[in-house]
Amino acid sequence: MRNILTIIRKEFSQFFRDKTNIRMLLVMPAIQLIILPLVADYEVKNIKLCVVDHDHSHYVNEMIQKITSSGYINLCAYENSMDKAMHLFEQDEADVILEIMPDFEKNLIRDNEVTIGVSINAVNGPRASIGGQYLQSILGEFNREIRLKWIQFPKFNPVPIIKTEHSYWFNPSMNYKHFMVPGILVILLTMVGANMSALNFVKEKEIGTIEQINVSPIKKYEFILGKLIPFWILGQVVLTIGLIIAFLFYGIIPKGSIALIYVFSSFYLLAVLSFGLLISTYVKTQQQTMLISFFFMMIFILLSGLYTSIDSMPKWGQVVTWFNPIAYFVKVNRMVIMKGSGFSDILPSILSMIAMATVLISWAVFNYKKRA
């Protein structure tokens, strides 16, 4: 036990000696948490609409007004030929082209039916599909309005109608930032923790001090724990800073218990820090460590459900996420912060994290060889 304390004290002295470390510890959370959520706004809005109007009738104007009043779609060009509009597509200056045929109004009255062309720039598939849905539902709404205006439905409605109502829980203002911040907080913790612990260990290899440790009677687990605990504490500090920034800048107050977040992060940090140390037991230089931890981090983050829903992944992808610690914490953090989930709700995740931490620590201790 005293041996572990000795190492921890040494790690802290080294950490605080280097001012860049402290800056990293404070600046990284700030940059990531303040800038990233501003950037990571996936809400589909500001859709650029170009209207190609061959009709120029009163109802076209009314329709355009209806569309733009939604707030999601902005009229940015009004052309008279499809060619010109397509050119806007090429320059990414339009997302949607609405083509209104000649005699739109006349045909609508005469034939009871008229088609309008909706062309969507679909290079970005998801944006296109959500944008298309918006536009279609606005058009449907508009359609219903003019129908009501033109014919008086009989007061007694003979047609059976299913009314749908909807409500959104846990994020009534549908604020994308509230969704991203808990997730980004996890990434932040992971980057700081895993990277720093891995680099720290490899540095001892590079400068050769590891030899001096290896020739001492210290136990392997004592050394690994001594390396792990300081970064575990720093991780919790980063988490705290993160939660404070989330509150100050985004007004996010966890609905559930804050203690629960710390309980989970305790096990989570053990797992990711051991993973960082594990990597460093395999490599020789800081450059390799950086590259390899970056490689895994990339995969873990992409498959964490941070931006894309895990449910939508193919089965094998979902199985991969069972072994991805980031996926658990992203999920748990959102559950506790946004939904107010309780201990029993996240217990399965906690158990998985304990299992993962145990395996990774044992593996790191096993793979750290005091003797070649």
Partner 1 sequence: MGQFWIFVRKEMWHILRDKQTLFVLLGMPISQILIFGFALSNEVKNSKIAILDHSKDLTTQQLIKRIESSKYFEITDYLSHSSEIEESFKKGDIKLAIIFSPDFEKNLYHSHEASVQFIADGTDPNVGTTLVNYGSAIIRDYQDELLGEKKLPYQIKPEVRMIYNEQLNASYNFVPGVMAMVLLLVCSLMTSVAIVREKELGTMEVLLASPLNPFFVVISKSIPYLFISIFNILSILFLSYFILEVPIRGSVFLLIAESILFIITSLSLGLFVSSIAKTQTSAMFGTLIGLFMPTLMFSGFMFPIDNMPVPMQILSNIIPSKWFFIIVKSIMIKGLGYMSIWKETLILVLFTILMIFISVKKFNKRLDIE
Partner 2 sequence: MNADIIIHVESLTKKFGDFVAVDNISFDVRKGEIFGFLGANGAGKTTAIRMLSGLLQPSGGKASVMGYDVYTQSEKIKAGIGYMSQRFSLYDDLTVIENMKFYGGIYGLSKNDLNHKIQEVIGILKIDEFKNQLVKSLPLGWKQKLAFSISILHNPALVFLDEPTGGVDPVTRREFWELIMNSAHQGTTIFVTTHYMDEAEYCNTVSIMVDGRIDAMNTPQELKKQFNSQDIHSIFVNLARQSTRKEFE
Residues near partner 2 (CB under 8 A) are 2-3, 5-7, 9-10, 13-14, 17-18, 207-209, 211-219, 370-372
**CB 223, min distance to partner 2, A:** 8
The DSSP bridge partners found for residue 77 are 50
Is residue 341 near partner 1 by the rule CB under 8 A?
yes
**Token pair listed for 274:** 């051991």
Residue 263 binding result from partner 1, partner 2, none, given CB thresholds of 5 to 8 Å by partner type: none
**CB 9, min distance to partner 2, A:** 8
Is residue 35 near partner 1 by the rule CB under 8 A?
yes
Any residues with CB less than 8 A from the CB of 281 and at least 6 apart, and which? 201, 364, 367, 368, 369
Choose the stretch contacting partner 1; rule: CB under 8 A; options: 176-184, 212-220, 245-253, 353-361: 176-184
Identify which of 260, 263, 268 has the alpha carbon closest to the alpha carbon of residue 231: 268
Residue 201 vs 275, nearer CB to partner 2: 201
Burial of residue 118, with CB atoms counted within 10 A of its CB: 0-12 exposed, 13-18 middle, 19 or more buried: middle
Choose the stretch contacting partner 1; rule: CB under 8 A; options: 50-58, 259-267, 292-300, 354-362: 292-300
Q: Quick one: CA torsion of 145, 146, 151, 157, rounded to 10 degrees?
A: -20
Residues from 202 through 241 that contact partner 1 (CB under 8 A): none
Of the candidate residues 22, 26, 30, 123, the single one contacting partner 1 (CB under 8 A): 123
**CB 2, min distance to partner 2, A:** 7
Choose the stretch contacting partner 1; rule: CB under 8 A; options: 231-239, 268-276, 288-296, 351-359: 288-296
In single-letter form, the type of residue at position 46 comes to N
Residue 164 binding result from partner 2, partner 1, none, given CB thresholds of 5 to 8 Å by partner type: partner 1
Is residue 17 near partner 1 by the rule CB under 8 A?
no
**CB 208, min distance to partner 2, A:** 4
Is residue 83 near partner 1 by the rule CB under 8 A?
no
Residue 174 vs 372, nearer CB to partner 2: 372
Is residue 70 near partner 1 by the rule CB under 8 A?
no
Of the candidate residues 117, 262, 351, 355, the single one contacting partner 1 (CB under 8 A): 117
**Beta strands at 73-79 and 96-100: parallel, antiparallel or unpaired:** unpaired
Number of residues that bind partner 1 (CB under 8 A): 107
Residue 1 binding result from partner 1, partner 2, none, given CB thresholds of 5 to 8 Å by partner type: none
Any residues with CB less than 8 A from the CB of 190 and at least 6 apart, and which? 272, 297, 300, 301, 325, 326, 329
Burial of residue 85, with CB atoms counted within 10 A of its CB: 0-12 exposed, 13-18 middle, 19 or more buried: buried
Crossing angle of helices 19-30 and 220-250, in 10° steps, is 40
End-to-end CA distance of the chain: 26
Residue 213 binding result from partner 2, partner 1, none, given CB thresholds of 5 to 8 Å by partner type: partner 2
Give CA 178 to chain center in angstroms: 10
Is residue 73 near partner 1 by the rule CB under 8 A?
no
Kindly report the backbone phi and psi dihedral angles of residue 51, in degrees, each rounded to the nearest multiple of 5, phi listed first. Answer: -105, 130
Is residue 152 near partner 1 by the rule CB under 8 A?
no
Is residue 312 near partner 1 by the rule CB under 8 A?
yes
Of the candidate residues 30, 38, 253, 258, the single one contacting partner 1 (CB under 8 A): 38
**Token pair listed for 136:** 């279609």
* HEC readout, 22-61: HHHHHHHHHHHHHHHHHHCCCCCCCEEEEEEECCCCHHHH
Of the candidate residues 22, 126, 215, 366, the single one contacting partner 1 (CB under 8 A): 126
